[in-house]
Structure formats: C-alpha cells, structure tokens
Structure 1
Amino acid sequence: MKLPSLLLAVALGSVTTVSAGLAVVECWFVEDAGGGRLAKRPAALLLRQGPGEPPLRSDLDPELYLKVRDPAGALQAAFRRYPPSAPAPHCEMSRYLPFPASVNWASGLTPEHSCPRALDGTWFMVSVSSRVISLSSLLQLQSESQRDSAFITMATAVLTVVTHTPITQIRLGQDALLDLSFAYMPPTPETTASLAPGPPPFGLEWRRQHLGKGHLLLAATPGLGGQMPASRDGAVAFATWDDNEPWGPWTGNGTLWLPSVRPFQEGSYLATIHLPYLQGQVTLELAVQKPPKVSLMPTPLVWAAPGEVPPELLCLVSHFYPPAGLEVEWELRGGPEDSFQKAKGKSWLSALRHHSDGSVSLSAHLQPPPVTAAQHGARYACRVHHPSLPALGRSAQVTLEVAGLSGPSLEDGIGLFLSAFLLLGLLKALGWAAACLSTSKESKEKKAQ
C-alpha cells in the first residue's frame, strides 16, 4: 500500500470547508480539575496549510495547537466522505497514557514487561462524534526541541479508529452491519525496524450496553493463539488487516455483522482496537424499528340515518416497534364545503399486545357523534404517527354513507320488504288456483268416460 506521505488529518469540530477537505479543527481539551470537576480549554488541529508559516493562534496554548501528520491517511479518508451540509462534529481532546490491555484474552499482545521506549513522551487522544461519523485517534506529540515553531506543536496520528455508522436504524428481523475500520503506523522508524515485517497482531472487542447493563459480545485476536470468549447473538466480525505491507502504514477491518436483529439487541455498542499498549475506541448506537400496519373497520361503508350515531370505528395498529412514540389522530374529510378537520367524538386506545418477534399492537377506537345529511360521503380517517414512518404518517379511511341519500332509505327498505311479501303471497295464490283448476278438469274427464 503506497499512500502519499503528506496526507493530513481531517476531522472534528467547527471548521472551515475547503476543496481539499477540512483544514482546521476546533476542539476542547478536557482534563481533571480535581474535586470531581472537569476543566475545558480551547484547542485546535491544523490538518492542512498552504505555503509559508502556520497561521498564528494567540488564543491557544502552543501545546494545544497541533499540526498533525497523518502517515496512514485515515483521518483525511474518513472526512472526505463527510457531507458538507451536515452539522460540525463534536471534538474533544484529552491526555493519554499508553498501557497494556486490561482484558485477559488480549494479554498476548503485550508479552514485554514494560512499555517500549518508542512510546515515551506526551500523548493525546482525539475523540469525534456526530450523526455521520465516530472517530478516535491517538496522537504522539513531538518534544519542544523538535518543534518547528514556538507557537505550534507537531503531532503524529499513530492509531485511528473510524466508523461511518455511528447511528444505525435497522428494521426488526433484518441483519445489521456496523462498519469499523482502523489504521496504524508505528510512531518512530526505530520502532518499525525492531519489529518483524508485516502488520502486528491486534485485538478486536465489541461490547453492548443497554438499559444500564453491558456485556462482551465478541472478541478476537487475529494472528494470536489462545482461548477466545464465545460470541453472543450470532455476532460475526471481519477482523483482519486489509494489507500486508512490510513496514506500514496498515489499515484494518473490524466490521460487525448481527443476523436477524431483535429489540433486545438495540443500545450502545463500543468497538475497541487493542494494539500493544495502545487502544482506540468508538461508540455506535443501534436502534430497532418496525413500521406499523394500519387498518380501519368497519369497511368499506359506515351506514347511519340522519340524527343517528354511526357504528364505532376500530383502527388496528399492528406489529410495530418501538412502543414509544406512537400517536393516533382521527380526521373527518369532506362533508360540508369539502372540509378537513379533527374528528369529533369519544376516542380511546387499548392496551399493548406483545408478539413473539418483539413487536407490539394496539387498537384505537372512535365513537363518532350523530351524523347529519350534509356529512353524506365524508371520510373518517385514522392517521398514525411513529418514529419509523415518514412525517405524514400512515392512514386508513372509510366512507360515511347516510341512509336515504345513497341507496335505499329505511322506509324504502320496509316498502321493498312488504312488496316482496305481497308478491310472494300472490304467486302462491295463483299456484293454488291453477292446481285446483287442473284437478277439477281431470275429475270431469273421468266421469265423462
């Protein structure tokens, strides 16, 4: 993999957009102020500059004004896809201390008894979050003697972890794919020369947190032996380095696949990449949704005479998720002057009914008021709003027919019934009379013989 050596990190904060990507990232540097309080100071990342000296930033501490070198190009690649119309992501910086992984299954990544000298010095962790990207990058700062200027600090992006699915909404029962990529470049040439050629072993960890509870979902250490914890919920990860360059930089893939997602699987997912004494972590949110089906009864017509109360309307809202956020509105369309208004009458909702797949259903009821002749042809509609539906929601409707204005009226129906009864009686009488005449004629013929 041959990448341009001058690719500069991009990402994170209130920034100026230019043709080559984000140039300056405004961040907050967060540190412990004691007593359980946190202190924040402004910071900035200079990711790209034109010819000449870096622009002065007298408002910043020189240690917090960083000119970032990104040999793996992961930062710029991530933010090249960032939509120009999207809100600026939130960026925070904090101090970082290299340390071995605390989980037992990743202990094989740090066989040494002490942290290598190549990781000495000052380290910062940059964390970025937005609706379109979540990113974590470890920056190693150069010492004061190595600085090009007294008012800016040089830093190198060593490990960068990125996801472009920080907020994923998946249909109930479908498969979820949570993407994760990472890039690594040893901090110094001396470190690279002391290592075996090719990418180093790494550890991948996926954890889920929901409703205050968390557990390990999947763990893997490609290139290392040892017993791994069993994966849960059928989770599968594509844990591998994407290239095998002898001296780096290297990019990798840790994308997670969850089959047939159920409601209990929604929540926060923490993805961590473990390298010897270095860890990068991003957070993703998975939400499960299923849009409701809407049907209205009785259908297709609601009959009533003027002044009478039409039958109760029943709106079935079935097999949706999540239960929260559902709203049902009743509308009356048409009628006098072809109006559109909120339907009057008494309305109520039933209790939730739970299904085996985790979805729920309920029924909405409306008892309309007495109808008038002017409402003939009006339409009662049940409109449902839910987070899984478009802004207009989903609706079903029935037409109100007022007796006497369309089809036979009640009096007409009684008249037709009486007419049919009399006609039937007349037909029976004629049949009886014809039978009697036929019998009498046969009797006379027998006597004549």
Structure 2
Amino acid sequence: MKSLSLLLSVALGLVNVVSAGPAAIECWFVEDAGRGSLAMKPAALLLRPGPGGPPPRPDLDPKLYLSVDDPAGTLRSAFRRYPRDAAAPHCELSSFIPLPASANWARSLTPEQRCPRALDGAWLMVSISSSVFSLSSLLRQQPEPQQEPVLITMATVVLTVLTHTPGPRIQMGQDAVLDLSFSYMPPTPEAASSLAPGPPPFGLEWRRQHLGKGHLLLAATPGLGGKIPATQEGAVAFAAWDDDEPWGPWTGNGTIWLPAVQPFQEGTYLAIVHLPYLQGQVDLELSVYKSPKVSLTPAPLVWAAPGKTPPELLCHVNHFYPSEGLEVEWELRGGPEGGSRKAEGQKWLSSLRHHSDGSVSLLGYLQPPPVTTEQHGARYACRVYHSSLPASGRSVEVTLEVVGFSGPSLEDGIGLFLSAFLFLGLVKVLGWVVAYLTTCKDLKEKKTQ
C-alpha cells in the first residue's frame, strides 16, 4: 500500500508539473491602420482548454480567439514553469506572409524563389516578451472558426524561437552566453512528405542595434554552401539541429558566445532563424556593468585640534560602469550623538575621468566642519550607490582623532619633533667623530711606513 501511495503521489506530482502555467495568454492583435498609425484589437491564445472545453469569450473576435496546437511543445513548455509572482508577459499578434529571406547570404535556403503551395493560408506571428523569457511563434490558422462548443479558431504552431536570457547583465570583461533554441514542425503532412527526411536547412542570424546603429554580428547556414559574412567581435554560435527525426518535430540550437564583453557591445541583440520562406525572431537587451573600487584618503586616521577643521576627505570611486546613476553620500558614525547620520560640511563631486576600457572614475569631496573633543573616535564614512552594487551600496570609513583628548597633545607633538631633531643631530655628530678617528688612524699608519 505504501508503494502504491508513493506511486500515486509521484504521478500526481508529475501531473501538476505538466499542467502548471497559465491556461490562456491575453494578447493584442496589431495591424496597420494607414497613414502611419496602428490599430490594436484584443486577442487570446488558449494553451490548455481544460476538462470542460474552451471557455466562451464573447468579448473577442472568433478569429482572434485561438486554440493553439503545439506539436513541438516549445510554446507550452515556456509557460509551464512561469513564476506565479512574475508580471504577466506582453503578447502581440500580427499577420505574417511567407517570403524568402532578404539577406543575400541566406538565398541558398530558397534556390527556387517560389513559395510552395503547402504554405498557403492565413499566418500569424506571436511575439511574447517578459523578464523570464522572450519568444516568437509562427501560427497557421484554420480558414474559419469552429462553431462548437464555442466560437474559436484552431491554430497550429509551426516555428518557435525562444531565449531564456531576454535581459542579460554581464560584468565587464566576462564572457556572455546568449541562449537561443528553436523548434519546427511542417504545417501539413503534405509539406512534410514533399521534403527529404530529416530537418530542413536553416540560417541563423545575430545582429546588434545600439544608439540608432546596427550591424550583422554573425551569420550561419549549417550544411549549406554559399558565401557567409565574416564573424565580428570573436562571436561563436552553436548552430545545429539537436535531432534528425525523419518527419519532425525538430528542435535546434542557436546560442551565441561573446568573449570578454566591453561597454560598446551593449544594446539590443536580434536573433533570427530562417527556414525556407519562414522566419522567427527574438530580441535580447544586453547591458554591461562594473562595480566601483572605493577608497578614502587621508587614511587610516584624520587628525585635528579642537575647534580646527580636519583635513579635506577624498572618496576615490574608481573604474565603474555605467557612468549614470552613481551617488556618493557622507556619514558620521559614533561621536556624542551615537548611531549614524549624514555628515555636515561642504560636499561636491569631480568630473568623470574616462579610461581606455570604457569605465570611468570620479572623486567625492567632503570638507568637514571644525571638531570638538566629544567627536574623538567618531568615524567619517563614504557610501557609494550604483546599479552594479547591492542596494546597501559600498562604504569605507576613517576614524577622527582629536589632538589633546586621548591622542598626543600639541605639546607632545612639539616634543616628539624636537626629540627627533636632536636625535638626528646626534647621529650626524657621531658620524663626524667616526670619520675623524678613521682619518687620524690612516695618517699614523702612513707615517710608520
């Protein structure tokens, strides 16, 4: 009985894992309304109809209420473990027309330049973005909505392109791995039978856009001839089909590796998978960061006499990126009031100093007010906040020693100076005496010879 209970528990657990995730995804259908404007209509993707069948959606156009058949399972799998506390993904639908790839290097995918009749019909592109993943899918719609049990349109997923790193943050100088996977299932049995057994040829394209400029980073057509543009910035792609089933569905890999990422490589990365007359694309937003090194001078102690102004404090914030969003705050810890509070005095920042690796540095200044004996042992701290640091920031501190309180007094300092001066004079006199005696000895030795 215990074994049976255990098996039931495992089975129920598996069912829960498989059935996890939202049953439907709310979307917007976007189309050109003319004169440079766009029109948006509500739509929905039904991923799991449930035991009672599809729920009615009278608020939707039946052609935009889509019951999704996903033979490869990539679209459903992406939502299967979607965190419940994560924000709802943004979903857009748009019309799609099968066309050959426009890039010259991808022309070998469609040498006949003629779209097969198997790709006729209505097509939609689904673009879904979130902090968890980003994907696009090509759906082929049935011509008309079905009437029973509710008005809904059947749609089959043909191509899905997916990344689980939609917003990678890479430390400057570290390697970046931007993952990309894709899956494909021929839209009809006729289309599958018209092709040679096994996965079709494909093209992979990675582009980067930043500050209004874009360029091709990498292109690949595994298994096909043709002239391919040279790879840029040392990028390497793992471009291949993962399986070779005769009739599909097939899954593939287009992950890219970027060595020693630098700030100029920030931007939007576009990953495009080309199949004959079909294309899927996802966008990734790569950002680079470098945590600052923080130090404080003078250190380790700041000396001041009662009623006098301590030396100017300099907070060195070195080699950080990005330059935006850095904050420097000064704190006074301990002293007669105890605790930690904002330090008084004049504060200002220097201009940025740029380095060859793209990072920047600056100085934070504090001119403290005159001190009192009660402030002996208090600590001045410089705290730095930056997007590359934890929320608490990073801080360094120095201790304030008030002369004459428990440290050396002014008279002690003068006495130490005079002692050092007399000691130095004594050393010089002894040096002269030794030199004189040595000279006299040499003269006597010469006379005896």
Counterpart residue number, 1:172: 172
Change (3 A) 1:308 1:269: same
Query: Which residue of the partner structure matches residue 224 of structure 2?
Result: 224
Alignment gaps of 5+ in structure 2: 1-16, 427-449
Per-residue CA shift, 1:99-131, capped at 9, x if unaligned?
Answer: 110000000111223211111111111100111
The SS at the match of 2:151 is: coil
Q: Provide the C-alpha distance between the structure 1 equivalents of 2:424 and 2:55, rounded to a whole number of angstroms.
A: 105
Equivalent-residue separation in structure 1 for 2:302 and 2:274 (angstroms): 66
Instruction: Name 1:330's counterpart in structure 2.
Output: 330
In the TM superposition, residue 357 of structure 1 has moved relative to its aligned partner by: 1.7
1:157 paired residue number = 157
- Structure 1 unaligned blocks of 5 or more: 1-16, 427-449
- Map of 1:250 onto structure 2: 250
Task: Give yes or no for contact 1:207–1:216 (8 Å, CA) kept in 2.
Answer: yes
Residue 227 of structure 1, CA deviation? 0.9
C-alpha contact (below 8 Å) 2:269/2:284 kept by paired residues: yes
Residue 372 of structure 1 corresponds to 372
1:424 and 1:51 mapped to 2: Cα distance? Answer: 98
Q: Percent identity?
A: 75
Deviations 1:116-148 (A, max 9, x none): 111111111110011111110000001228776
SS at match of 1:167: coil
Q: Is the contact made by 2:145 and 2:151 (CA closer than 8 Å) also made in structure 1?
A: no
Aligned-pair CA distance for 1:358: 1.6
Task: Give the conservation status (yes or no) of the 8 Å contact 1:147–1:154.
Answer: no
Superposed CA offset, 1:14-62 (max 9, x none): xxx9943221111111111112111111111111122343211111110
Letter of the 2:70 counterpart: D
Cα distance between partner residues in 2 of 1:393 and 1:62:
53
Question: What is the aligned partner in structure 2 of residue 23 from structure 1?
Answer: 23
- Kindly indicate whether the alpha-carbon contact (under 8 Å) linking 2:160 and 2:184 is maintained by their aligned counterparts in 1: yes
In structure 2, the CA distance between the partners of 1:170 and 1:419, relative to structure 1 (3 Å rule), is: closer
Q: How big is the alpha-carbon RMSD for the aligned residues of Structure 1 and Structure 2?
A: 2.1
1:399 and 1:212 map into 2 onto residues whose CA distance is: 50
Per the alignment, residue 382 of structure 2 pairs with 382
Distance 1:416 1:36, change over 3 A: closer
Shift of 1:64: 0.4
Could you tell me which residue of structure 2 aligns to residue 4 of structure 1? none
Residue correspondence of structure 1 range 409-420 to structure 2 within 5 A: 409-415=409-415
Instruction: Return closer, same or farther for 1:300/1:422 CA change in 2, 3 Å cut-off.
Output: closer
Could you tell me how far apart the structure 2 residues matched to 1:61 and 1:317 are? 58
Query: Could you list the per-position Cα deviations for residues 55-112 of structure 1 after superposition, in whole angstroms to 9, with x for gaps in the alignment?
Result: 1111111000000000000012222232222111100111111111000000011122
Question: Counterpart of 2:295 in structure 1: which amino acid?
Answer: S
In 2, the alpha carbon distance for the partners of 1:147 and 1:115 equals 32
Q: 1:35–1:308: structure 2 CA closer, same or farther, 3 Å change rule? A: same
Cα 1:283–1:393 shift into 2, 3 Å: same
Aligned to 1:119: 119
Are residues 252 and 165 of structure 1, via their aligned partners in 2, closer, same or farther at CA, if it must alter by over 3 Å?
same
Alignment map for 1:127-146 (pairs within 5 Å): 127-144=127-144
Task: Report the TM-score, using the length of structure 2 for normalisation.
Answer: 0.88
In 2, distance between residues paired with 1:116 and 1:38? 31
Distance in 2, Cα, partners of 1:360 & 1:380: 25
CA change 1:149–1:190 in 2 (3 A) is farther
Any conservation in 2 of the 1:62–1:150 contact (CA below 8 Å)? Answer: no
Match of 1:193 in 2: 193
- Give runs of aligned pairs for residues 16-415 of structure 1, distance below 5 A: 19-144=19-144, 151-415=151-415
Task: Output one character per residue of 1:201-220: Cα deviation in whole Å (capped at 9) or x when no partner.
Answer: 00000000011100000000
Q: Distance in 2 between matches of 1:52 and 1:209?
A: 47
